[in-house]
Amino acid sequence: MLQFFAKYKTLAIVLAVLSVIIIIVIYSILKPTPKLPVYQPDMVNAELVDTTVQYVRKYHKIADFNLVNQNGETITQDFYKDKIYVADFFFTTCLTICPIMTDNMLHIQEKIKNDPEVFLLSHTVFPVADSVPVLKKYATEKGVIDAKWNLVTGDKKHIYDLARKSYLASKTDGDGGPYDIIHTENFVLVDKSRRIRGFYDGTDSQAIEKLMDDIKILKAEYNQ
């Protein structure tokens, strides 16, 4: 009996290894690949969406934009072409949710600083006060990496339209007055096709970790 097992030992090992490989392959085929949803306006809380786009069910994308960053450079959608990015809305003198959001953006920046596919974009909702020099001072104090993270200002209506009609991230469209400020804690994950792939509470550390995991899922989607 021992001679029999000794004779076929190699064959048994080969068959065992093949069996393991086959099981792994079958599991990989049957296991669904995680994929993030593509958010449309009709999928989002209507309070966060402008009435003109609330019932859009497909093809929603971030609109073209033209803003100015902390270095006085014009930033358009072309800067983020073929890039994944995280967007939010803040203002430099905010003392409530914005400092927490900025800290969490800094956490994300640290994680993606060497990743050529992922960037950050923060829009001021108080452009009358957040001029380019103010944004530059804020960026320097906070440790913003210019190559990874744009803090942008510009026409207030343009920024508010982006918040309500593109990023679907604000509960108010404002009355247009200089001191009327929207407040939103949402971080928005945008893919390389300018589509929204996730919303996250920018004041919640667990939501930020979920965002980081979702960035990995989104990157894997492009690398398949």
pLDDT digits (tens, 9 = 90+) for 198-217: 999 999 999 999 999 999 99
Residue 60 marked as a ligand binder = no
Average pLDDT over residues 55-78: 97
DSSP string for residues in 78-94: GGGTT-EEEEEEE-TT-
What is the amino acid identity at position 91? F
Average pLDDT over residues 146-164: 96
Mean pLDDT for the chain overall: 88
Token code pair at residue 74: 């014009």
Of residues 117 and 172, the one with the higher pLDDT is 117
The band of 33, judged by pLDDT with boundaries at 50, 70 and 90, is: confident
Residue 107 marked as a ligand binder = no
Position 67 pLDDT exceeds 60: yes
Asked if 58 and 41 count as a contact pair (C-beta separation under 8 A), the reply is no
Position 148 pLDDT exceeds 70: yes
Whole-number pLDDT of residue 29: 53
